[in-house]
Structure 1
Amino acid sequence: MAVTEGWLYLACWLDLATREVVGYAMADHHRAELVVDALDMAHGRADSSPAA
């Protein structure tokens, strides 16, 4: 994605059962840190109860 100040990269984690985005991160680089940040967000939103 091009923005006025350069490139913006997006990493997102999807819940395949519900097709919901459960974590995402944006940065001006595409290093592993970007993906780890998205995973951390997804982990923080995790619901421990099983889906009905």
Structure 2
Amino acid sequence: MSTIQIVCALLGFGLMSWAMAVTKQYALVGAAMVCWAVVVLTQLLFGTPVV
């Protein structure tokens, strides 16, 4: 993963945390964060782009 991908991943987590605090849709945003984490971790661990 390049630096820009890591920055985008962190921004994605921050945005989802903010959305969770604002909308109070914890289940929905939590599910989105889990999916995002799976994508990021598979890219970090295996080095293969998911999309």
TM-score interval (norm. to shorter): 0.3 to 0.5
Structure with a larger share of its residues in strand: 1
Larger Rg: 1
The TM-score normalised by the length of structure 2 is: 0.37
- Greater per-residue helix proportion: 2
Q: Normalising to structure 1: TM-score of the pair?
A: 0.37
